[in-house]
């Protein structure tokens, strides 16, 4: 039994920042302040970025978010385009790396969307390639392989436009490594070794990526029971990690070497390495390194009769797996516990853990996952081969035609046999299934039409009332006010004072009617669109409060369907009212952008957090109902330090 897991999924979100720099954290703070005072803007930006990277490297993700945010605000307030936009794109990329490190993969995607908008505007193919590659990496970690396929291919296409060979090689190195990681997750060791070796063959200028590839290759060889090759690859990885000062990589390499030695029967040497890994992990506060070492050492402790210690370590390991939401490690922990409890004679617990292990093992190696990754491989290889075999296209077409004829003939023969055997049953089941689907679809559509009609009627009534208030009562009040002003000029001084009071009351009434009319159906939304209406809503909502706000929008040049604009506006109203009433926030950031047929509204505050957003009140129900109508979604996440981030996504064609 072997317990190994590819480490680069985690290492991929860490940055190549040497430990000599980690030790100088205070000097980074001093440097940022010094550069700021000396008006050395780019140096100050770099200092803030390095502080963020320091905290990211030690997994202090909240602090990393804080300093990347400070870096972004500094860039916005001190630099001009295009330098400002280029640097902001890098900040958004850093935000996405932090989200990946936190295993908050959904949160990473909007930041990558923002980076993509900037880099498309700057026409920067190299940066766009990195955005696509990172997005694919995030989606792969979420087992959303089909969505990741197109992004990997886009990364390659953008990478081909990069003129600098060093940058292009670094990109291809990363893409091949990503493909290898997929196969490691599925325990397809031969394909993992094949594509990881391709990554190694294309040398990256980022030495740490070359180390990650060798570590992945070592994992693949361990899976193939090629222990000598696994040790050689891990030693090469460890050497590079030592050169760049990356302690987490050194720990992972030691764990791999120890596992390979254990597989060779050299248990004492392996146990020594696992102990070193555990001690080093505790020194640098790297729980995942300790977790892997404990998993690998468990059978050795059991062989020595140290069952109590082994079970205690696996219980600790199980808690870490749940904390990090890592099913790959959890599978190995449960398998170990099943074997340990069996050795103690506790067959009930052994059976419980074995069942849990089997459920996880089956889910992680599901047929659909294998199919999806193979689809990715097929598309990737097809893309590459089309470029390499252009001169042989004619011959390939002839071969394809011949194979197609044979395949068609074979298909007809097999299909005929199948039809003769099970045709009747198939047709019956198909028709019955279609009838059920049609009934269910009709019910769903009828419900949607009913709710749509209610919403539409409500909005039409809001429009009518708004128009009546503005054009009817509002104009009458204005006319009466003008009449009073004319009368005031003809009256004596004693009456003028009374007329002033009456005019003032008319003014208040007219303003109140105008405000009610605006709330019922904003004229800006109907005439100028969602961006202008949002600006008016923010100004009117926060003008008499102590809350500051910032509003950014991208790709909102054209109008959308009226019901989408109205629904997003109403959802934003609900969110802002909740912030105003319950959040105790002092700052709100609103982002509205449209990209690739998707409209995203991001509302972030620094208030007290999730307490109000997760309730089942009318406000939240209204938000969900409106978004259901336009096939949108809302996702709530805690802010980096405090507060709440609401991410609303709507398909717009």
Note the pLDDT tens digit of each residue in 287-305: 888 888 999 999 999 999 9
Distance CA 66, CA 48 (A): 10
The domain spans of the chain are 1-164, 290-364, 525-651
Banded model confidence at residue 179, pLDDT cuts 50, 70, 90: confident
Amino acid 590: pLDDT: 93
Banded model confidence at residue 254, pLDDT cuts 50, 70, 90: very high
Give the Cβ contact number of residue 251 at 10 Å.
27
| Mean pLDDT for the stretch of residues 35-41 | 81
Rounded to whole angstroms, what are the CA distances from 219 to 2, 188, 585?
Answer: 11, 11, 48
Banded model confidence at residue 233, pLDDT cuts 50, 70, 90: very high
Amino acid 412: pLDDT: 44
Amino acid 232: pLDDT: 95
| Mean pLDDT for the stretch of residues 161-185 | 82
Question: Token match 């200028």: residue?
Answer: 205
pLDDT digits (tens, 9 = 90+) for 68-81: 888 888 888 888 88
Banded model confidence at residue 398, pLDDT cuts 50, 70, 90: very low
Banded model confidence at residue 309, pLDDT cuts 50, 70, 90: very high
Q: Which fold has domain 290-364?
A: 1.25.40
Instruction: Specify which of 187-201, 432-446, 505-519 reaches the highest per-range mean pLDDT.
Output: 187-201
- Counting every residue written for the chain, the total comes to 653
| Mean pLDDT for the stretch of residues 109-113 | 87
H or E stretch including 222? helix 207-223
Q: What is the CATH number of domain 525-651?
A: 3.30.565.10
Question: Is the pLDDT score of 465 beyond 80?
Answer: no
Question: Is the pLDDT score of 154 beyond 80?
Answer: yes
Banded model confidence at residue 613, pLDDT cuts 50, 70, 90: very low
pLDDT-wise least confident of 22-26, 77-81, 338-342, 514-518: 22-26
Q: Tell which wins on pLDDT, 552 or 501.
A: 552
To the nearest whole percent, how much of the chain has pLDDT over 90? 14
Instruction: Specify which of 224-238, 395-409, 602-616 reaches the highest per-range mean pLDDT.
Output: 224-238
Q: What is the CATH number of domain 1-164?
A: 1.25.40.10
| Mean pLDDT for the stretch of residues 616-620 | 65
Distance CA 545, CA 588 (A): 12
525-651 has the same fold as 1-164 = no
Retrieve residue 352's tokens: 């419980």
Q: Is 195 helix (H, G, I), strand (E, B) or coil?
A: helix
For residue 638, list its beta bridge partners.
644
Compute the mean pLDDT over every residue in the chain, rounded to the nearest whole number. Answer: 76
Banded model confidence at residue 253, pLDDT cuts 50, 70, 90: very high
């Amino acid at each position: 039994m072997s317990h190994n897991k590819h480490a680069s999924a985690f290492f991929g979100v860490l940055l190549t920042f040497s430990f000599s720099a980690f030790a100088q954290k205070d000097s980074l703070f001093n440097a940022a302040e010094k550069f700021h005072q000396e008006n050395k803007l780019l140096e100050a930006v770099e200092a803030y970025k390095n502080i963020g990277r320091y905290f990211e490297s030690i997994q202090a993700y909240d602090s990393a978010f804080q300093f990347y945010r400070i870096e972004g605000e500094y860039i916005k307030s001190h630099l001009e385009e295009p330098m400002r936009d280029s640097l902001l794109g890098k900040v958004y990329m850093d935000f996405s790396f932090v989200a990946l490190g936190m295993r908050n993969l959904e949160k990473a995607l909007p930041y990558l969307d923002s980076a993509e908008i900037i880099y498309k505007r700057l026409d920067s193919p190299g940066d766009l390639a990195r955005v696509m590659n990172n997005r694919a990496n995030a989606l792969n970690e979420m087992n959303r392989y089909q969505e990741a396929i197109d992004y990997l291919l886009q990364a390659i296409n953008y990478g081909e436009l990069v003129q600098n060979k060093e940058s292009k090689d670094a990109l291809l190195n990363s893409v091949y490594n990503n493909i290898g990681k997929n196969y490691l997750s599925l325990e397809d060791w031969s394909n993992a070794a094949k594509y990881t070796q391709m990554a190694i063959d294309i040398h990256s200028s980022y030495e740490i990526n070359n180390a990650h590839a060798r570590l992945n290759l070592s994992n693949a060889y361990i899976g193939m029971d090629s222990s000598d090759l696994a040790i050689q690859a891990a030693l090469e990885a460890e050497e590079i990690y030592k050169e760049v000062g990356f302690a987490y990589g050194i720990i992972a390499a030691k764990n791999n070497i120890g596992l390979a030695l254990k597989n060779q029967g050299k248990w004492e040497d392996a146990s020594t390495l696992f102990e070193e890994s555990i001690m080093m992990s505790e020194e640098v506060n790297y729980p995942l390194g300790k977790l892997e070492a404990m998993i690998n050492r468990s059978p050795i402790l059991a062989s020595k009769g140290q069952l109590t210690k082994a079970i205690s370590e696996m219980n600790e390991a199980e808690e870490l797996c749940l904390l990090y939401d890592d099913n790959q490690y959890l599978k190995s922990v449960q398998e170990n516990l099943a074997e340990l409890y069996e050795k103690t004679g506790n067959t009930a617990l052994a059976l419980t853990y074995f069942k849990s292990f089997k459920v996880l093992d089956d889910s992680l190696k599901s047929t659909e996952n294998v199919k999806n990754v193979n689809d990715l491989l097929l598309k990737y290889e097809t893309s590459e081969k089309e470029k390499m075999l252009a001169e042989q296209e004619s011959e390939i077409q002839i071969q394809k035609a011949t194979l197609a004829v044979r395949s068609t003939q074979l298909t007809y023969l097999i299909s005929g046999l199948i039809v003769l055997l099970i045709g009747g049953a198939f047709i019956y089941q198909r028709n019955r299934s279609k009838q059920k689907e049609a009934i269910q679809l009709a019910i769903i559509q009828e419900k949607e039409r009913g709710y749509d009609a209610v919403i539409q009627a409500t909005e039409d009534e809001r429009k009518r009332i708004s128009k009546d208030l503005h054009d009817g009562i509002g104009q009458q009040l204005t006319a009466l006010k003008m009449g009073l002003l004319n009368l005031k000029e003809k009256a004596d001084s004693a009456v003028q004072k009374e007329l002033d009071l009456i005019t003032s009351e008319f003014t208040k009434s007219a303003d109140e009617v105008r405000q009610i009319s605006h709330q019922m159906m904003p004229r800006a939304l109907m005439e100028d669109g969602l961006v202008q209406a949002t600006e008016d809503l923010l100004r009117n909502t926060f003008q008499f409060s102590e809350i500051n706000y910032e509003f950014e929008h991208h790709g909102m040049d054209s109008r959308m369907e009226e019901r989408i604009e109205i629904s997003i506006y109403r959802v934003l109203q609900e969110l802002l009212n909740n912030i105003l009433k319950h959040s105790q926030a002092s700052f709100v950031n609103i982002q509205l952008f449209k990209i690739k047929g998707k409209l995203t509204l991001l509302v972030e505050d620094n208030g007290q957090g999730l307490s109000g957003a997760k309730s089942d009140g009318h406000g939240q129900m209204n938000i969900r109902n409106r978004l259901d109508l336009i096939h949108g979604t809302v996702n709530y996440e805690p802010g980096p330090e405090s507060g709440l981030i609401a991410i609303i996504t709507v398909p717009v064609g």
